[in-house]
Amino acid sequence: MTLAFCGTENNSAAYKVNHGVLNNGCFVDALNVVPHVFLLFITFPILFIGWGSQSSKVHIHHSTWLHFPGHNLRWILTFILLFVLVCEIAEGIVSDGFSDSRHLHLYMPPGMAFLAAITSIVYYHNIETSNFPKLLIALLFYWTLAFITKTIKFVKFCDNKIGPPQLRFCLTGLLVLLYGMLLLVEINVIRVRRYVFFKKPKEVKPPEDLQDLGVRFLQPFVNLLSKGTYWWMNTFIRTAHKKPIDLKAIGKLPIAMRALTNYMLLNEAFKTQKNTDTPNPQGSKSIWCALCHAFGRPLVLSSTFRILADVLGFAGPLCVSGIVHHVGKGNITFRPRTKILGVFFISSQEFLANAYVLAVLLFFALLLQRTFLQASYYVAIETGINLRGAIQTKIYNKIMRLSTSNMSMGEMTSGQICNLVAIDTNQLMWFFFLCPNLWAMPVQIIVGVLLLYYLLGISALIGAAVIIVLAPVQYFVATKLSQAQRSTLEYSNERLKKTNELLRGIKLLKLYAWEHIFHSSVEETRQKEMTSLRAFALYTSISIFMNAAIPIAAVLITFIVHAHVFKNADFSPSVAFASLSLFHILVTPLFLLSNSLGETHKIGTTLFVNRKRPTREDWNNYNSPIRRPVKVTEAEDYFKMSHEITFIIVGQLTMIVGQVGCGKSSLLLGILGEMQKVSGNVTWNSNIPDNETGEDILYPPTVPVFQALAYASQKPWLLNATVEENITFESPFNKQRYNAVIDACSLQPDIDILPHGDQTQIGERGINLSGGQRQRISVARALYQQTNVVFLDDPFSALDIHLSDHLMQEGILNMLRDDKRTVVLVTHKLQYLPHADWIIAMKDGTIQREGTLKDIQKSETELFEHWKTLMNRQDQELEKESLIERKAVLDRKTLQSTVYSREALLQDDEEDEDETPESDDEDNLSSVFHQRAKMPWRACGKYLSSAGFLLLPLLVLSQLLKHSVMVSTDFWLAHWTWSAIAFRGAKNCSYEQECRFDHSYYSKIFTILCGLGIILCLITSIAVEWTGLKVAKKLHCLLLNKIILAPMRFFETTPLGSILNRFSADCNTIDQHIPATLECLSRSTLLCLSALAVISYVTPMFLIALVPLAVICYFIQKYFRVASRDLQQLDDSTQLPLLSHFSETVEGLTTIRAFRYESRFKQKLLEYTDANNIASLFLTAANRWLEVRMEYIGACVVLIAAVTSITDSLSHKLSSGLVGLGLTYALMVSNYLNWMVRNLADMELQLGAVKRFNSLIKTEAEKYEGLLSPAQIPQNWPDQGEIQIQNLCVRYDSTLKPVLKHVNAHISPGQKIGICGRTGSGKSSFSLAFFRMVDTFEGRIIIDGIDIAKLPLQTLRSRLSIILQDPILFSGTIRFNLDPEKKCSDSMLWEALEIAQLKHVVKALPGGLDASITEGGENFSQGQRQLFCLARAFVRKTSIFIMDEATASIDMATENILQKVVMTAFADRTVVTIAHRVHTILNADMVIVMKRGVILEYDKPEILLEQEGSVFASFVQADK
């Protein structure tokens, strides 16, 4: 057919100009081409040639500065313009189809207009981002010309009586309106920016965010197209494929999204809420109102997007119905009746009667619907993330005002706070994500039911009723699922608590052979957890089953009723497949609505219940400072003072002494305001300046400011930072002072053996340091600060005598007192009392006596004599002599060139090892973190193989069968409906009864197939969840067995947090997440594959288009998976420092507040929160990036499937039933394609948990079996306690150097042996060798005639007793801590407590032996904990008893009593004592002096003391 601009018909009106040139329709259309040609010719040279220095006047990093007024309106109008132009092109093509020749003027001008519209927006974007507003003058002329020419056309239509019934008239009117509005937008830009027609153009500056090179999250700044398609993420995703994503790559948050900004917004909302007249301003309703006030607007926007998306979602079924209907009629439309100016005009109804038009409209509807849906998701999640940041900041602010006494009493634990931050804030975030669902879904349900009624009549309501009736069941299941999850979480927390205690006390458990007791305890809790997990799995499988089965049941009932009850009703493919799509749409909101309501209920109960805690109200009772010295008046803080005291005098050293548990630490805490004060007050001197002046404006001080002071707590508190950062503690670095502090605390030798010196990262809670190192770094921090007041709470408890003396002389006396600093020292070391300017003696929570040493000597002679005995000091000259001796020893020690591995440090600095082999492993940690491996198929195989050989085939076969049956059902439906239509078309009968189609045969088969599908849905859902349960049970059991039997070296070289993560996060992933992801992945993959197979079968031409789509899809998922994995890991890894910061703050609250560092820690919190939020936002944007692209590919699949099936059908090759089937499945592809890729990425990430589990399961266990059978070992072995050590060589690992070298010794039965030596001499290694905790590679130990290497480990360790330096107590009762094996009577337990000087303490507790001990024994002092550990060892009553520096945290008086009791009560037992304080072993039968793993001296103490040059004698001299 020939082409011509105005057509080729004879006597065509298109070429007649009798009534004037403007009355010629073809000329008017030609005139409309002029503006578009003008724009293309003007703009193309500028776009392609470009211009010199872009952004020359304004230097910004990103070309995303959108600063012209009306920017968003312009983009929206341009999008609408493009859609209207597409409709105009389509209308021109369709109407021209009725003419005898082709009229190009009907669709060429809108085609040119389409190109010009795209050019205009590209041109505008370049000009805007380059800041050249003068070039916008071209667009001003274009919009003016386009508006004029289109108005002429519209007027001529009106003149020729062409009105609204004709579609072209409506489209032209719309275009006039759009061009006019765009012209107004352009004029407004001139008015505001004044770039032409004005003398002085308006200068504008880019926002602060875009001037910051660190801001890389551009979603708030880019144009609407890039916002909707996440185009700005392309560069980021491509870069991620080349190199790993780190915090530097994702940059900083935009200002509006930072935690600080959102906290201020939330605070303002809370203030507004408080100002309103509400009866209960603190209630949950008030909190909700404040949250909605602060973050409600974005939610409304998200809900609007969601409602628009849901409404557009119904275009799919309606278009499918229309296409199948018109295809069934051969796509024949009636010839239009209107022919004016030589061309046909069609109505909108005639336009929509074309199947191809519907296919294109369906394509555009899907694009728009998916864009709106993803925009809704993004806005909701972004709002949730912003809210989470604000809430976390608010919680932190609250923590800073919490009373530490409440926390120590267990009213609020560190774990609860971490749960609040990690779980509750995330739940609130996800609730905000669910909010738009709650509001939009009722609309979706109502519209869906109305459309079903329109298609099927009453029978649709019956089907919808099935779904609606089952909705409460779904809600019930969702509620039960939530309850099961909560129950599982409770048991999981209990299991984690027990596992944590087990791992923290693993050394003690192995030494006491108690692994099986704690293993059984963890397994018992795991069994309870598994019971809850079974319930969780059951309800999850029911939920999955109902979600899959309800639409099948609804469709079955509807179609059976429709076919058999309403026999004359339309049962064509168009009705059937449109209804099928609607049912699938309808069941999703009902399922999500029930889940959302369940989630809402859960969040409501968890977030606002029992969260209010008392703050430090005692601050408000602090009087204004009026006196120079600090004063405490009758302060009752769990201890009482009988009279007013004035004791902390400026520039002097005050010492507080007293027995264990008398209230020394409590007095310090009371002065700091950390106790619950009943009465009295503390007055601080106001003349001393505060080094933290004022508070951050965000955190106004709620309490009177007292002066900052340096504080070292009894339990060392360290940051997860470098050694240097822990010492300087945010203060300016002063090298001279830093080195002086290092020397005073004797830290240089320790720093030398650290892998990276003082830049070595200290693990959480100082996990990679010994107790003494932790203590000295904590004291070093206090010494380094330039504060006028220093509080030191028992700084010598974990130090030996040499380190203590050096610290006292160089640190406290020379650095602090000589600088006239006010020092308060709590100590048990009474030998330092002569240095005190003021002494406070405490007893049973009261001040027994205070004054100078001379005052006490005069007034309290008995007390002074008691002290003198304990001090064991002759005079000051002797002290000076010992200090000189000790200094020489330290100098020699510093010169030793020893290098220890990082892991060896965990052995309390006792191994002399090489660091090199370990450093390489540490360097590999970063590469392991960013290991960008492919899909972990091996881990997947391990997971599935753990399910067993019965479940795995059932799982695979049931999935394949289910999807085969579902496809067969839909094929049968296509055949059924086509048969019904064909029968009616073929029959030409006179009686109505003869024309009725018999549905019974078809309906029976359809019912059987649907029933089979429902049964298979149930089987698959149960199979997946039961597979998950079996694997979870098996993997946890394997891991626990392996870990508990692992050698001690494993725990020393593997961070505790890493092992705990396997039992917490990874276990949770395997328990709950992998089964759901596996089910979702298999379902979405099989649905996509079956859909593509069906479409390809229906229209083989589709396969040609499928190849490029598959290639695009492959590359998108490939790039996405890499970026998603990195971002997910980054999201997790940035959450850990945040939670760690909360945990650190809670533990070090007293120290932080003492230093007045609240604002600094709050600033750190903001940084950690922003880092976590930026990772979460990038992850969200990456997910949206994927989903938008997958949805667009899905829309392309629908368009191609529709066009090919319409073409095939019109050539009479295809039935309308198969067309309907193909299109229905094409819509499914668009729904499930992104789910497939997302689940693939999730599965890849989650299988990492299996991989990590598997690596730990491969850990080799200790050799528990022995060469001797139980029958060969005497029942009461060892009964004598004789020990022979022959040529003993010991090391911690086969790759490390020996720590004991050729040691020989003989210990007779009942002897009391004392072992002493410097740090690192091998004392503790010596004691551990008895228990085979270390690798004995040469020599042997014989106890009572039996070589211990031949004994089973369990037997050996259960027959010996040891007390470790670090006191370890478990949560439970006192009875359980003393005797977990339940072998002893109450009288035996009381006897042990009496020996340990604890009987009176336990008697006073409610419940006595059944009184509870909190986690870690936090409700007892450090000294009392150590005494409980002594009592525990006494209970065992073995013939060999080892004390490893067991009295380090005990005052001298109690220690002396204990030593006497041990010597008398254990007169017949062999006792080996490793001592810090050498005087404690002076009464021993024999003394062993060790150095570098070798015995230097071995003899009776009196003989060694008499020997000239004896090392032991020098130790005793130094200890006096």
pLDDT one-digit tens code per residue, 1317-1329? 877 777 778 888 8
Bigger pLDDT: 344 or 1017? 1017
Least confident among 51-60, 166-175, 662-671, 947-956: 51-60
Are residues 1368 and 504 in contact, defined by beta-carbon separation less than 8 angstroms?
Answer: yes
CA dihedral 451→456→461→467, nearest 10 degrees, is -80
DSSP at 252 = B
d(CA 673, CA 1247): 49
| pLDDT at res. 792 | 87
Strand 846-851 versus strand 838-843 pairing type: antiparallel
The pLDDT assigned to 990 comes to: 44
The dihedral over CA atoms of 291, 295, 298, 303, expressed in degrees to the nearest 10, equals 0
Lowest mean pLDDT, pick from 368-377, 580-589, 901-910, 999-1008: 901-910
Tokens linked to 435: 């909010």
How many Å apart are CA 1487 and CA 1502, to the nearest integer?
10
pLDDT digits (tens, 9 = 90+) for 478-495: 788 878 888 888 888 888
What's the pLDDT band for 7 if we cut at 50, 70, 90? low
pLDDT over 70 (residue 639): no
- The closest of 468, 495, 803, 863 to 657, measured between CA atoms, is 863
Nearest to 711 by CA among 806, 615, 826, 620: 826
pLDDT per residue over 1193-1206, tens digit each?
989 988 998 998 88
Taking 60 as the threshold, does the pLDDT of residue 417 lie above it? yes
Which pair of structure tokens corresponds to residue 318? 């309606």
The two three-digit tokens of residue 1436, written as one number: 């065992």
Percent of the chain with pLDDT over 70: 80
Residues 1429-1476: tens digit of each pLDDT: 878 877 877 888 888 776 665 666 667 766 776 777 777 888 888 876
pLDDT interval class at 214 (50, 70, 90) = confident
Binned at pLDDT 50, 70 and 90, residue 616 comes out as: very low
pLDDT tens for residues 505-546?
888 888 888 888 888 888 888 898 888 888 888 888 888 888
Structure tokens at 1421: 């002092």
Contact 381, 1183 (CB under 8 A): no
Residue 762, classed as helix, strand or coil, is coil
Which CA distances in Å does 1409 have to 1377, 1384, 1401?
Answer: 10, 12, 11
Note the pLDDT of residue 148. Answer: 93
pLDDT attached to residue 894: 32
Query: Confidence class of residue 184 from pLDDT cuts 50, 70 and 90?
Result: very high
The answer to whether 1336 and 1253 are in contact (CB under 8 A) is no
Mean pLDDT, residues 1498-1513? 83
Give residue 1022's pLDDT: 87
Q: Cα–Cα–Cα angle for 775, 777, 782, nearest 5°? A: 100
User: What's the confidence (pLDDT) of residue 149?
Assistant: 92
Taking the C-alpha atoms of residue 806 and residue 625, their distance in angstroms, rounded to an integer, is: 36
Q: Helices marked H in 243-354 — which ranges?
A: 247-250, 259-275, 284-313, 315-328, 348-352
H helices of 1099-1157, in order, are 1102-1147, 1149-1155
What's the average model confidence in pLDDT over 1091-1106?
86
| Cβ count within 10 A of residue 235 | 11
CB atoms within 10 A of CB 193: 19
Q: In this prediction, what percent of the chain has a pLDDT beyond 90?
A: 8
Residue range 539-587, pLDDT digits in tens: 888 888 888 888 888 888 888 887 777 766 667 788 888 888 888 777 6
- The conformational region for residue 851 under phi > 0 = left, psi -120 to 50 = alpha, else beta, is left
Average pLDDT value for residue range 1243-1258:
81
Q: Is the pLDDT confidence value at 1415 over 80?
A: no
Which pLDDT band, with edges at 50, 70 and 90, does 612 fall under? very low
Do the beta carbons of residue 1487 and residue 1314 sit within 8 Å? yes
Least confident range from 54-63, 148-157, 498-507, 1020-1029: namely 54-63
The per-residue pLDDT for 173 is: 92
Q: State the pLDDT at residue 11.
A: 52
More reliable by pLDDT, 254 or 1143: 254
Structural element, H or E, at residue 930 = none
DSSP letter string, 868-895:
HHHHT---HHHHHHHHHHHHHHHHHHHH
Model pLDDT for residues 306-355, shown as the tens digit of each residue: 889 988 988 888 888 888 888 777 655 555 556 666 677 788 888 888 88
Written as one letter, the residue type at 1074 is: I
- Of residues 577, 543, 532, 544, the one with CA closest to residue 558: 577
Q: Write out the H or E segment, with its range, that includes residue 993.
A: none
With a cut of 80, say whether residue 861 has pLDDT above it.
no
- Report the pLDDT value the prediction gives residue 636, as an integer from 0 to 100: 36
Share in percent of the chain as helix, strand, coil (round to 5): 65, 10, 25
DSSP letter, residue 402: B
Rounded distance, CA 87 to CA 810, Å?
89
Task: State yes or no: pLDDT of 1019 exceeds 80.
Answer: yes
Residues 679/656, Cβ–Cβ less than 8 Å: no
Task: Kindly state the average pLDDT of the residues 974-981.
Answer: 79
Q: Give the pLDDT confidence of 888-924 residue by residue, as tens digits.
A: 333 333 322 222 222 333 333 333 333 333 333 333 4
Please indicate whether residue 889 or residue 1259 has the higher confidence score (pLDDT): 1259
Cis peptide before 1278 (omega within 30 of 0): yes
Length of the chain: 1520
What pLDDT is stored for residue 903 in this prediction? 31
**Mean pLDDT across 1241-1247:** 80
Find the largest Cα–Cα distance for the chain: 139
pLDDT confidence of residue 917: 33
Q: Is the pLDDT of residue 828 over 70?
A: yes
Residues 429-459 pLDDT 10s? 877 777 787 777 788 888 888 888 888 888 8
Whether the pLDDT of residue 884 is over 50: the answer is no
The whole-number average pLDDT for the span 991-999 is 59
Average pLDDT, stretch 395-412? 70
Structure tokens at 581: 């799509």
For the chain, how far is it from start to end, CA to CA, in angstroms?
118
Range of weakest confidence among 308-322, 565-579, 818-832, 1163-1177: 565-579
Residue entry with tokens 């639409």: 551
The pLDDT score that the predictor gives to residue 635 is 35
- Over 90: is that where the pLDDT of 646 sits? no
- Which H or E run includes 1372? strand 1372-1373
Residue 1027 has pLDDT above 50, yes or no: yes
Least confident interval from 225-234, 513-522, 1477-1486: 1477-1486
Q: Kindly report which listed range (396-410, 792-806, 1163-1177) carries the lowest average pLDDT score.
A: 396-410
376-392 residue pLDDT tens: 999 999 999 999 899 88
Residue bearing the bigger pLDDT, 680 or 599: 680
Confidence of residue 206 (pLDDT cuts 50, 70, 90): confident
Q: Is 397 helix (H, G, I), strand (E, B) or coil?
A: helix
CA–CA gap between residue 247 and residue 1276 (Å, rounded): 62
The single-letter DSSP state of residue 1263 is -
Average pLDDT, the chain: 77
pLDDT band at 615 (very low <50, low <70, confident <90, very high): very low
Helices (H) and strands (E) in the chain, counts: 52, 25
